[in-house]
Amino acid sequence: MMRRVTTHDIAREAGVARTTVSHILNNRPGIIISPKTRERVLTIARNLGYVANSAAQMLVTGRSQTIGLILSRPDLISVDAFVPIMVFGLNEACRTQGYRLLMESIQEPAGADAYLDMAKSKRIDGMIVINPRKGDVGLRKVIESRFPVLVFGSSGHPKEHSVATQDGEASCRATTHLFSMGHRRVAHISYAPLEYLPAVKRLEGYRAAYKQAGLWCDKKLFAEADFTSESGYQAMKKILASNTRPTALFAGNDTVAIGAMTAIREAGLSIPENFAVVGYDDIPAAAFACPPLTTIRSHAFEQGKILGEAAIALVVGKGIRSRQDVISLELVIRASCGARRKTSSASPLRGANTSISKAARSGGHREP
């Protein structure tokens, strides 16, 4: 029978005291240990095959060393590549700091106490909720219970701790890029219904670009999708059937954009010769779309790591400030936008001399 690896074994291999190993493996707050020592001990523990005795660990620390990841839409793991990539980053952050990740699905209608019941179960020390709907009652209850909960995006609760990207600014940038290429009728398909606040922020950024350009934003050029390529396909068909046909699309994510591109081709339009498309997220499939998709690179893996680190900071009592600028977003320019179009003198573009339009004219591949 294989002998169980102990903290004594790890301490001997790392050349540190057993108490130091215990502090690191149990992630005890208030103990100052250098990052280099912490990483060396955790690496040795993994290499030796150390498995913590969860029951004993919880008796000593009062913690389960587990972060709960709550998905309100479990199908997102399979339909939107951004989510699993972000989860990989989140798991990496947890693993590095000695935490496990427990994934759960709370779907509506699940009862207003579903989040709170999980918090009270003692199975998790903190909770991360991805893509909650605005005003989610169950989430509101657990936030107000003062249990450590971190929201990716926003539920709109004034007391929530949240981590989000600058969705509005990035969406304005993507739409402005299409204006800089000579388009004047740019459509937008939200990646989700507008009960999800990040989708609202991206719509606001799209509209802000119209305002900055001095152009009128026709409501017929907007449609909602529901995370999937199929919903992007149907939304694009609806827009193309309207009297005001666009010449370009800014899609709320790449998954929706790829579905929309199918509808565009079925309508007899060629991308990018007759129609330009910009997505959001830069999932792996974006570079291999036909043609390759211009998109906002949102760094899903890095965002996941930031989420994990922030959640653990909440658990150990360090606290965080809600952050809206966690990572720099980039406009990655590929073939789906094509060459600059000739524009009518009757619809001038205000502020066309922007860094984005300069990058487009000079053939730049990335605009931070």
What's the whole-number mean pLDDT along residues 122-135? 89
pLDDT at 340: 65
Longest dimension (CA), the chain: 83
pLDDT at 321: 63
Instruction: Answer for the pair 84, 117: CB distance below 8 angstroms, yes or no.
Output: no
State the Cα torsion 330-333-336-342 to the nearest 10°.
Answer: 110
pLDDT at 357: 27
Cα–Cα dist 167/18, whole Å: 46
Tokens 């799209």 sit on residue: 206
Burial 107-143 (b: 16+ CB within 10 A, else e): eeeeeeebbbebbeeeebbbbbbbbbbeebebbbbbb
pLDDT at 94: 93
Residue 150's DSSP bridge partners are 128, 161
Instruction: Answer for the pair 165, 200: CB distance below 8 angstroms, yes or no.
Output: no
Average confidence score pLDDT of the chain: 85
Cα–Cα dist 87/289, whole Å: 23
Cα–Cα dist 280/257, whole Å: 8
Report residue 10 as tokens: 């790890």
Residue 362 phi/psi, 5-degree rounding, is: -90, 0
Range with the poorest average pLDDT among 55-69, 125-139, 169-183: 55-69
pLDDT at 295: 97
Report residue 231 as tokens: 């919903």
Report residue 213 as tokens: 């350009």
Question: What structural domains does the chain harbor?
Answer: 7-61 (1.10.260.40), 66-165+301-315 (3.40.50.2300), 167-297+329-367 (3.40.50.2300)
Least Cα distance to 77 among 112, 43, 105 occurs for 105
Least Cα distance to 331 among 306, 357, 305 occurs for 357
Least Cα distance to 229 among 58, 108, 78 occurs for 78
What's the whole-number mean pLDDT along residues 14-30? 84
Instruction: Answer for the pair 294, 332: CB distance below 8 angstroms, yes or no.
Output: yes
Predicted confidence (pLDDT) at residue 1 exceeds the cutoff of 60: no
Instruction: Answer for the pair 103, 69: CB distance below 8 angstroms, yes or no.
Output: yes
Q: Is 149 left (phi over 0), alpha (psi -120 to 50) or beta?
A: beta
Range with the poorest average pLDDT among 46-60, 149-163, 177-191, 270-284: 46-60
> 366-367 and 330-332 as β-strands: parallel, antiparallel, unpaired?
antiparallel
Most confident of 29-43, 117-131, 262-276, 350-364: 262-276
Predicted confidence (pLDDT) at residue 346 exceeds the cutoff of 50: no
Predicted confidence (pLDDT) at residue 361 exceeds the cutoff of 50: no
Q: What pTM was computed for the model?
A: 0.77
Three-state secondary structure call for residue 190: strand
The pLDDT tens digits of the residues spanning 59-110 come to 455 567 899 998 877 788 888 899 999 999 999 999 988 899 999 887 665 6
